Structures are given as structure tokens and as C-alpha cells.
Amino acid sequence: MAGGKETPRQKMIGMMYLVLTALLALNVSKQIVSAFITINDKLEASNKIIDNKSGDVYFGFSQKRAALNAINGNTEKLVYWENKAITLKSKTASIVGFLLNECNDMIKESEGEDWIEEKDDDGNIIKLKPLMKISGMDNYDIPTNLFVGGNPKQPNDRGMNIIAMIHSFRDEVCAEMGTYKEGSKSYTFQAPSDVAGLQEAFKTANSKDTAKLRQFYQSLTIPEMIPSHSHDEELMPWSSVMFDHAPIVAAAALFTSLKLDVKNAEALAAEYMLAKIDAPMFKFNKIEPLPFAGASYINQGDSMNLQVLIAAIDTNNVAQIRYGIDDTIPGNWKTTTGGISLNSSSPGQHTVTGQIGVEQQGDISWKDWQFAYTVGQPMGVVSLPKLNVLYRGYPENEVLGTASGYPQDKISLKGNNCQIVQRGGKYYAEPGSGRTASITVVGRNEDGTSVNLGTMNFRVLPMPKPTIYLGQIESGSEISRNQLAAQTRLFPKYPPSVPLDASFSVVSWTLSVSGAPREAKGNGPTLSQEAKTLLRNAAVGSTVTFMTKVRYPNGDIKRRAAVYTVR
């Protein structure tokens, strides 16, 4: 396309090259824009980590307050530095809000709407919407016009004001960090205009603080003139190098980076202020949950207040304990480490008074404590939840033994004229041939010894005889011929008036119907065809009799009769 007359085909090829070149340039632009969005997202992720770190530092003031209150310590110094930390937090929110407001104004120029997502209670911006949603993200005219202007060598005031605001925040926080009283001495620190003046400014500061002050000062110091990569490394104003022809997403990532610098500096200053507070430090190497209640035993129907606390202990240094049981005179107290064996020889209310030695910054501090406990006289009772007698031949005589002062797993039952069987966590009594039986509650002490806690006597009765049912019709009932003809099985069981849950089974039966020439016999509960024929042919007014052999729950077999009248 450089010269000569071109054919239509050559012109078409030349046009295609131009289009291809334009498309390649556009693709590079998109890649660059995407890279700035990725950088911004990573900076925001780092910002969350720093916020969590700063939150832990601010919480440290509350922890030191609790430690001082625990020993009735002086909190004057804590209040002084805590107020400085509150000021630091407020100033940080203000400068971060300023940076995000500048970024919001820039994006608003492109999108025609605010890009604010969240503000704090004081109206400071704390979060903007994602950069990915910006439609004009590659626009570089807006950042240039807002923060540089028409002449990069003489940028407008708005761009350079960003440096001024950050330096103002730096100088104010430096003064908070380095200006204070300690005993009879007073220290001051006035931030210089550049790094070269630091050594002179340190003359009025505490020599122990200079390293932290220098670190904080330098972290927020931005040179007004920096090398420009687009002007052969010529020194250019900071705002021109940062914003001149920078896409909106690149400028937004710069504001996020500045915000991160401020947050990092805040964390450094907050840690410095927290370290100024002298609070008792305890040596711990293990933290574990500690459930605590006034007792480990509770009576049925009562309630218990259980608290779950966090216990911090030093397993390498077991604390000394001195104590007295029902004795408040320290001179009489015993000394031990670890647990205390409480005296239970005398019933009634007792109080243990003592002190525990806690190591604080190399010294032992004795802390008072007190514990009240009651020694009771154990008593045992036996109750029958379902019955008031023991039935011979019934294996489900459930019995329950309890004893005040003993948990259930420390109690057992012993029978006289009855065998005690434990099944499924419950006790059952199987009485012998006598008319009475007794059950004793036995308690097991911590040292392994046993004690009888009480004995109860019970009557022993034979099991009630079961009633024979023809289907659902009880023995002794009148029954119609149609009902009689429909029955097929015999059922031995207790009527509702008997509160026992016993299972019986029919072994064999003999059926006779008055007026019938013969009987019918069978095994098991099901009626034979011959028996059904006798029932169908039974005349009105006749008597139907079943003579059965029934197996009881304990395996005994006994005879039971069932009689019905046909109506």
C-alpha cells in the first residue's frame, strides 16, 4: 500500500491488515484492563487480612483491661493509650473514606452513578462496587482530567492533594505515638517534612520509640517527584506519573493500594500503642473447656445449672494451693498441689477456704478462693413403678433402686427370696416360693467399699389367671350364632383391669357343645375345621366350652376353661 497503483484485490488485503492490527491492539487493551482488575481484587483480599489483624489488636485493649481488673490494677495508663487508639481508628476511617470518595468521583464520571456499596456510621465510605461492573473501565481521559489536567509537568491541585492528605494523616498519628508522659518525663515527636529531618525530630522523642516511629513515618511517605517511564526516566510529579493516561481500572487499583498502605500503618501504630500498656501477663501452654456445676449429682425432678468455661493452664508449672476445711485461719492451713481430698466423715454443710499461687511476670500472686459442699447421710429406697407387689412366675416385675448421695451407676440391688436380674439398664425381680421377699439397695463408694442403704419388704402373689378369648369375645359372654361361626382362634390374655404386660400362648384345646354327639380337639390357638363345624351347628341356648392348656411367661403350663352361651 506504500506506492503505485493498487489492484482491488491488493486494496482489500491492505484493509484486512488494518482491521487485524486494530483487533490485536484492542485485545491487548482488554488483557491489560483484566490484569488491573485482578490486581485490585488481590489487594482487597489483603485488606481483609489486615482488618482482621487490626481488630485483634484493638480487642487486646479489652483483654488487658480484664487482666488489670482481675488484680484491681491501675487502669489510668490503659485509658490514656486506649483513647489514642480510638483516635487512630477514627483518623484511619476518615483518610480511607477520602481515598474511596476520590475513586468514587472518578468512576461516577464514567458511569453516571455513585459506585458506593457501603458506609460506616460516620458517613465514611468503606467499600465500593466491583470494578468488573464498570462499562468504561478502559477510559483514560477521566483520570487524566480529574487528577492531572492539561499539563503533566504542572498537574492540578486535586491529584497532588492526595499526597498532602496522606502526609497529614501520617504527621497526626506520629504525634499521637510519640507525644506522652511517662513518670516524670515528657516526650514529644513532630514529624518532619521529609525523611532527612527524622534524626533531628527524634531528639525530643523516647529513644525506645524511634524504630517504630521511623517505620510508621516511612510507610506513609510519598515523594512528590518520581521517575516517569514514559518520559525517559525524567522526574515528574507523582500524580502525573500515576494518573496521566491511566485507565480507570488502573487508577482505581492505585487507590486500593493507597488504602492498603494506610491500613498497614494503622495496624503498626495500634500494636505500638497496645504494647505501651503494662498489664499482668500469665504463662499458659494449654487451653481446654471446663464444665462447672455446683454438684455432679441431681435428684429426679430437680434442675442443675451447668456452666462451660475456658480454662487456661500451665502444665509445666503446677500452682501451689493452701487451704483449710471449716478453718479460716491461714496459719492452720495445709499446702498441696493439684487436687484436694475433702473430708466426708461429718454430715452437714462445710466450707473450704484457701488461696492459689499464680505466677505473674516472675512473681507469685496469691488469689483467694472458697468452695462450699454438703455431706449427707445416704438413704436408700426401692420403688415399683408399675406394681405394688411381686408376682411369682412373672419375669417382668420391674424394680427401681435409688439412693440420695449416690449416682445411679454406683447403686445395685440385692434380693432375698427373689432373684434380681438386670436387662437393658433396668432391674427385674423374680420371687421364689415364699409369701414375702425383700430387696436391699447397695451403694458403692469411691474407695470400692459397699454399704447397705436400705431394705424394703414386698408381698409375693401368684400371677393372676388369664382369661380365654374366642376371637375378641371374653369367656362368660353370650354370643350369637353368626358371631360364633366367624371365630377361628383362641387368645389367652389379661383383661384391661389387670395392669400386667404378660404374654400367654395356647398349647392345646378341647371343644364341647351341649347337645353335640362328640368333642373336637386341637393344638395351638387355631381352631380346626371340625371345631368350626361344631360352632356353626350350635343351637340357640346351647353352651360352648373350651378346655385349654395355657403356657405362662415362665414356661409353666396350666389349665384354663372358657364358656359361652349361644343366643
- The per-residue pLDDT for 345 is 74
Q: Do residues 444 and 450 lie in contact, with contact meaning Cβ atoms separated by under 8 Å?
A: yes
Report the distance separating Cα 284 and Cα 313, nearest Å: 5
What SS3 state is found at 222? coil
**Grid-cell match 487508639, residue found:** 85
Q: Given pLDDT bands bounded at 50, 70 and 90, which one contains residue 3? A: very low
pLDDT at 220 over 90: yes
- The per-residue pLDDT for 380 is 63
pLDDT at 81 over 90: yes
pLDDT at 298 over 60: no
What does the chain come to in residues?
Answer: 567
Percent of the chain topping pLDDT 70? 86
Cα 363 to Cα 227, 283, 366, 382, distances in angstroms: 58, 12, 10, 57
Report the distance separating Cα 186 and Cα 176, nearest Å: 13
Rounded to the nearest integer, the mean pLDDT of the chain is: 86
pLDDT at 21 over 50: no
Phi, psi of 502 (to 5 degrees): -115, 150
**Grid-cell match 396350666, residue found:** 558
Q: What is the largest CA-CA distance in the chain?
A: 140
Count CB atoms within 10 A of the CB of residue 523. Answer: 11
pLDDT at 282 over 70: no
Alpha helical stretches, state H, 112-186: 141-147, 157-178
- The per-residue pLDDT for 386 is 55
What SS3 state is found at 322? strand
CATH number for the 467-566 domain, one of 3.30.70, 2.30.30, 2.60.40, 3.90.400? 2.60.40
pLDDT at 316 over 80: no
- The per-residue pLDDT for 295 is 59
Cα 206 to Cα 202, 213, 487, distances in angstroms: 8, 10, 108
Q: In this predicted model, which residue has the larger pLDDT, 296 or 158? A: 158
Contacts for 55 with CB less than 8 Å, ≥ 6 apart: none
Report the distance separating Cα 117 and Cα 127, nearest Å: 5
> For the chain, how are helix, strand and coil distributed in percent, rounded to 5?
35, 30, 30
Q: Do residues 506 and 490 lie in contact, with contact meaning Cβ atoms separated by under 8 Å?
A: yes
Count CB atoms within 10 A of the CB of residue 132. Answer: 12
Highest mean pLDDT pick, 25-39, 147-161, 418-432:
147-161
Angle between helices 8-70 and 76-111 (to 10 degrees): 160
Determine which helix (DSSP H) or strand (DSSP E) holds 111, and give its type and residue range.
helix 76-111
Cα 186 to Cα 81, 210, 250, distances in angstroms: 15, 15, 46
Contacts for 79 with CB less than 8 Å, ≥ 6 apart: none
Percent of the chain topping pLDDT 90? 58
Paired sense of beta strands 450-462 and 390-392, if any:
parallel
pLDDT at 20 over 50: no
- Average pLDDT for 160-185: 96
- The per-residue pLDDT for 2 is 46
Report the distance separating Cα 472 and Cα 486, nearest Å: 11
Please provide the DSSP assignment of 486-514 as one string: H--BEEEE--TTS------EEEEEEEEET
- The per-residue pLDDT for 179 is 97
DSSP 282: B
Choose among 487, 489, 476: nearest CA to 565: 476
Cell digits of residue 154: 504542572
Angle between helices 157-178 and 210-219 (to 10 degrees): 170
DSSP 428: E
Angle between helices 248-275 and 157-178 (to 10 degrees): 10
Report the distance separating Cα 501 and Cα 177, nearest Å: 83
Burial class (CB in 10 A: 0-12, 13-18, 19+), 458: buried
- The per-residue pLDDT for 443 is 86
pLDDT at 84 over 90: yes
What amino acid is encoded at 393 in this protein? Answer: G
Lowest mean pLDDT among 3-12, 116-125, 548-557: 3-12
**Grid-cell match 487436687, residue found:** 339
Q: Given pLDDT bands bounded at 50, 70 and 90, which one contains residue 520? A: very high
pLDDT at 75 over 80: yes
- The per-residue pLDDT for 387 is 58
- Are 380-462 and 467-566 in the same CATH fold? yes
pLDDT at 514 over 70: yes
Q: Given pLDDT bands bounded at 50, 70 and 90, which one contains residue 205? A: very high
380-462 fold: Immunoglobulin-like (2.60.40)
pLDDT (tens digit, 9 = 90+) per residue, 426-475? 899 999 988 999 999 998 887 788 888 888 889 999 989 999 999 999 99
Q: Which residues lie across from 336 on neighbouring strands?
A: 321
What sign does the dihedral 203-206-207-213 (CA atoms) show? negative
Q: In this predicted model, which residue has the larger pLDDT, 450 or 7? A: 450
- The per-residue pLDDT for 177 is 97
- The per-residue pLDDT for 8 is 63
Burial class (CB in 10 A: 0-12, 13-18, 19+), 315: exposed
Q: Given pLDDT bands bounded at 50, 70 and 90, which one contains residue 5? A: low
- The per-residue pLDDT for 36 is 87
DSSP 22: H
Report the distance separating Cα 531 and Cα 523, nearest Å: 12
Determine which helix (DSSP H) or strand (DSSP E) holds 220, and give its type and residue range.
none
- Average pLDDT for 406-424: 87
Q: Given pLDDT bands bounded at 50, 70 and 90, which one contains residue 407? A: confident
Q: Where do the structural domains in the chain lie, given as residue ranges?
A: 8-275, 286-375, 380-462, 467-566
